[in-house]
Structure 1
Amino acid sequence: MSPDHSDDYFAEGLTEELIAAVSNIPGLRVIARTSVMRYKGTNKTIAGEVAGALQEHVLRKERTVETARSTRNPEAYVSYLRGRQFWNKRTEEDLKRAIDFFEAGVKIDADYAKAYAGLADSYAALALLELMAPTEAYPKAGEAVRKALSLDPHLADARTSLGLIRFQYEWDWTGAKLAFREALVEIEKARELDPLSLAINTGVGHVLYLSRQYDRAIEEYRRAVELDPNFMATHVWFGRPYLEKGMFNEAISELEIAVRLSGESTLALAMLGHGLAAAGREDEANHILNQLKERSRSKYVPSYWIAVIYNGLKDRERVITWLRKAFEERSSWLVWSNVEPRFTWLKDDPDFVSLMEAMKFPS
């Protein structure tokens, strides 16, 4: 590849595709793109050594044919790679640019399953980060994932997206369980192949936080920050275990970084507002609250995150009011509300209990 950094999307995308192909060869253990990229540019001889080791007779013996999931059109493929490049950044602007590239890919090749999966992932991410109303984003994600699976029923990316849609939007706990079960083998493989994955590490941190293992969650998030200090999602979630431990200065520091990296996204601002309120800095928390209410005049502002700030202020009535609005909006984040530590103080509140019953969580 040329030294021109504008080609990075192609180099990184090609790396990911090669890793996916080579990982199918028995006897080889391959780490994935996000782990490999940590060593980008550190040893130019490695590529030559690997190429020499993978002789054609080995590849010929174990080569697999990727039918509809791939494309033979170079333009569609490049559009897919550009889409994944922007999808990995997880900001509103970048996710919308990712959608443009994935749509360009399927316009060129209408049978490109992986591009449809990319579309589903992008809309699901917009909904999960509540950068787009769930009632707008998830149906688009669902349409794309159904198309991807019609072309390739075994595509892991699409199976995972299907599980997320059923869990976070349809609140179909049984359907989600079945879809995730089908994807679980691939996810476990991804964890093994990609020990330095930011998405996987932050996901592990999320589970540890929800299970109230705050010290372990902090260590997981700290590891993710060391891998990439500019990955916004890590910082915004890093604040949560600090808040639960009463480490307000540390939490606010992480959340201020998240606000800056996200360009003052609603989610990051709301988390900062919650942290400021919990730290007793109510005037600053109310300033953010008013800022978000003003923003709601011109764009979608999720009710869930307004509730989160009121939760920090311990305003029971307004928390319940805004959570009910979030229920009507089918907020992705309500699916964790029965185990979310920040709501523990409400667990015996009749109105909160009623809302949890309306979610019809499995016993």
Structure 2
Amino acid sequence: MSTPPLYCAFGAFRLEAAEKVLYESDRPVPLTPKAVETLLALVARHGRLVTKEELLRIVWPDTFVEENNLAQNISLLRRVLGEGAGGRRLIETVPRRGYRFVGPVEERPGRLAEETAAEARSAAVAPDIAAIAVLPFADMSPGRDQDYFCEGLAEELINALTQIEGLRVAARTASFHFRGGADVREVGARLGVGTLHEGSVRKAGERLRVTVQLIETTTGYHRWSRRFDRQLDDVFAIQDEIAESVASSLRGGVLSPREKELLLRPQTGPAAYEHYLRGRQLLPRLTRADLQASAQLFERAVALDPGYGPAWAGLAMVHATLYEWFGATDDDLARAERTSERARALAPGLADAHVARGCALSLSRRYADAARAFEEAIRINPNLFDAYYYFARTSFAGGEIARSAELFGKAAQVRQEDFQSPLLQGQSLRMIGRADEALHATREGIARVERALELNPSDARALSMGSNWLFHDGQPERALEWSRRSLELHPDDPGTLVNAACLRSKLGRKEEMLEILERVFGRGWGKRDWIEHDPDYDLVRDDPRFQKLLERLK
């Protein structure tokens, strides 16, 4: 076996083996982990044939995968690397046998090969201890019927920790894929976190037992653990103590009075809190049935405690989402307006209340008022993803494309697992003529989509959104494949249909696009102000059939 380099340089590129990162002119290039491992294997053996079987063994050592996965990695690498001197590809195909890296390589001696690739997968760079994933609590209750409570406690802890400066908290959508005895090292490697918070809940009558532990992902060392045996109405005190202990352990030192204040959330009684947590569990699913069920649960919460601001904020988000995606009814608009104002009045220190207010105001095209609400949410919690993301969407819908690009970029920084914000930032950057930055954002978004699909291959949102940006990255066939998969998974989902229509626009398939839009806009589903600024609709904008559909939207 050869003695490979710690890093390799070829043209404008530098491949760092230990970091498992490819740089172009000192700027990281967004690539999936498996694509980097493929490049590592080829560069380590530059100038000689590496068979397909050898590459599959190195990159996927313990897994059987189809050869198509390797071909996709090679295709991605060729698009990123471009051509070498004389227009020659840096990665050469040897028909029916394998591949050869043929570019000139500057090396620094060291180790790479199979063992370095394996190390890179697991522990190339020790993850930051201040980066944490919070897993759903395990349900140890007698009836095993407290799933909503276990997820709710974890989500509340995630929301609290995001407010502490110096911590990076993995998003709910990423960390909730791991539960039920997940291997801590695998979670750390997959999510890029140095610590893991896990625990269990046993709820019986009015008694509550919560056990928690904080574990370093690279060593398995337990930094902190605790068991709470309390009455159910002590749940808020338990959450506050857990959040403060975790934050202090990860960042070091005690929290400031301001930070302790930020960790506190409005409190309510056990029954109202149960309905609130059940409503929160359904809210992210974004189907009409789930949103309507979520609304009913939030309504029960505010009926039990009319002064509980978080439940009013949740109810406002439900009605804002129903209005935006499912028919734009006057009733949903009025309810979003009323409940968001109620939430803000009851909980002026709750950033979520101002986000809900901003979303409601944007529905009436009161963009300046909505901006002030989002800005207040950001002032309260500068690390709140929803504030940046919905502010960016509102800015785009209001025609402020440059501001939307900036805000989508901030959302992408705050939540490093999210693929939507860098993809949408890429669109905004393209629209204002910043093509190079748009391409970088697009590739970062695609890399995040691929990581999301590694966790959940049936993520229709990732497939449908990712398909459009694969087209911009020069991968039309793969884009169509992803779009078809998303439609197979959720053929009636408005977001899936809209993204499918936009991809057909990019491909110049006007009739297919109109046919798909009829299934969405024909039912009055769609966000008209966004459509008015989205260039994906330019293909059909002058078509009378599209204009008739647009008239059905508000």
Higher relative contact order (CA 8 A, sep 6+): 1
* Distance in structure 1 (CA, Å) of the matches to 2:227 and 2:413: 23
Residue matched to 2:351: 156
The answer (yes or no) to whether the contact 1:206–1:237 under 8 Å persists in 2 is no
Q: Determine the structure 1 residue equivalent to 2:285.
A: 89
* 1:2 partnered with 2:140: yes
Contact kept, 8 Å, 1:198 with 1:227, in 2: the verdict is no
* 1:87/1:183 CA distance change after superposition, 3 Å: same
Residue 215 of structure 1: CA displacement?
2.9
TM-score (norm 2): 0.48
1:207 to 1:39, Cα distance in 2 relative to 1, 3 A: same
The answer (yes or no) to whether the contact 2:340–2:360 under 8 Å persists in 1 is no
2:272 to 51, 76, 79: 76
Check 1:79–1:35 CA distance in 2 against 1; reply closer, same or farther (3 A cut): same
- Give the C-alpha shift of residue 37 in structure 1: 2.4
TM-aligned CA distance change 1:287 to 1:199, over 3 Å? same
The 1-side partners of 2:262 and 2:414 are apart by: 28
Is it true that 1:52 corresponds to 2:225 in the alignment? Answer: yes
Give the gaps of 5 or more residues in structure 1: 331-363
CA 1:187–1:273 in 2, change beyond 3 Å: closer, same or farther? same
- Distance in 2 between residues matched to 1:232 and 1:290, nearest whole Å: 20
SS in 2 for 1:39: coil
Q: CA deviation at 1:136?
A: 4.0
Cα distance, 1:135 vs structure 2? 4.2
Q: CA deviation at 1:11?
A: 0.5
Aligned match of 2:547: 321
Alpha-carbon separation, structure 1, partners of 2:307 and 2:486 = 38
The answer to whether the Cα contact below 8 Å between 2:327 and 2:524 also exists between their aligned partners in 1 is yes
Quick check: 149-158 or 234-243, which moved more?
A: 234-243
Q: Structure 2: which 5+ residue stretches go unaligned?
A: 1-138, 185-196, 200-211, 215-223, 229-240, 246-253, 386-409, 431-437
Show the counterpart of 1:206.
424
RMSD over aligned Cα, in angstroms?
4.3
User: Which whole-Å CA distance do the structure 2 matches of 1:142 and 1:256 have between them?
Assistant: 37
Contact in 1 for aligned 2:491/2:497 (Cα 8 Å):
no
Match of 1:275 in 2: 503
> In the TM superposition, what whole-angstrom CA distance separates every residue of 1:248-273 from its partner, at most 9, and x where no partner exists?
33333333333344341244224323
How many Å apart are 1:172 and its aligned residue?
2.5
What is the DSSP-based 3-state SS (H/G/I as helix, E as strand, rest coil) of the residue aligned with 1:143? Answer: helix
Partner of 2:374: 180
- State, as a whole percentage, how many aligned pairs show the same letter: 25
Distance in 2 between residues matched to 1:286 and 1:28, nearest whole Å: 46
Question: 1:34 deviation in Å?
Answer: 4.0
In the aligned structure 1, how far is the partner of 2:547 from the partner of 2:327?
21
Residue 289 to residue 53, structure 1, CA distance change in 2 (3 Å): closer
Q: Residue type of the partner of 1:2? A: M
What is the distance in 2 between the residues matched to 1:292 and 1:173? 25
Distance 2:160 2:480 in 1: 43
- Within 5 Å, give how 1:1-363 maps onto structure 2: 1-2=139-140, 6-21=145-160, 31=170, 33-41=172-180, 42=182, 47=199, 48-50=212-214, 52=225, 69-72=266-269, 74-128=270-324, 130-133=325-328, 135-166=330-361, 168-185=362-379, 188-191=382-385, 200-212=418-430, 213=438, 214-245=442-473, 247-276=475-504, 278-279=506-507, 281=509, 284-285=512-513, 287-289=515-517, 291=519, 296=522, 299-302=523-526, 304=528, 311=537, 314=540, 316-318=542-544, 321-322=547-548, 325=551, 329-330=553-554
- What is the CA-CA distance between 1:103 and the residue it aligns to? 1.1
The change in CA–CA distance for 1:255 and 1:123 in structure 2 (over 3 A counts) is farther
Q: Distance in 2 between matches of 1:183 and 1:242?
A: 33
Cα distance change of structure 1 residues 46 and 215 upon mapping to structure 2, 3 Å threshold: closer
CA contact 1:80–1:102 (8 Å) conserved in 2: yes
Answer yes or no: is the 8 Å Cα contact 1:235–1:254 preserved in 2: yes
Q: Read off the aligned partner of 2:427 and give its amino acid letter.
A: Y
The Cα shift of 1:204 comes to: 3.5
Deviation string 1:117-143 (CA, Å, 9 cap, x unpaired) is 111111222233x22316443332121
Is the Cα contact below 8 Å between 2:383 and 2:414 reproduced in 1? no
Code of the residue aligned with 1:52 in structure 2: it is S
Q: Which amino acid aligns with 2:268?
A: T
Alpha-carbon separation, structure 1, partners of 2:468 and 2:162: 36
Q: What SS does the aligned partner of 1:316 have?
A: coil
Q: Which amino acid aligns with 1:300?
A: G
- For 2:478 and 2:380, locate their aligned partners in 1 and report how far apart those are by CA, in whole Å: 35
Q: Deviation of residue 162 (structure 1)?
A: 1.7
User: Given the two structures, how large is their TM-score scaled by the length of structure 1?
Assistant: 0.70
State the aligned residue count: 321
Give 1:13 shift.
0.3
Change (3 A) 1:211 1:29: closer
CA distance in structure 2 between the partners assigned to 1:283 and 1:194 by the alignment: 34
- The one-letter code matched in structure 2 to 1:208 is G
**Paired AA for residue 501 in structure 2:** G
Counterpart code for 2:422: V
Aligned mates of 2:163, 2:475 — CA distance in 1:
45
Higher fraction of helix: 1
Larger radius of gyration: 2
For residues 29 and 310 of structure 1, the distance between their equivalents in structure 2, rounded to whole angstroms, comes to 35
Q: Structure 1 residues 179, 323: closer, same or farther in 2, change over 3 A?
A: farther
In structure 2, distance between residues paired with 1:200 and 1:79: 28
CA distance in 1, matches of 2:165, 2:540: 56
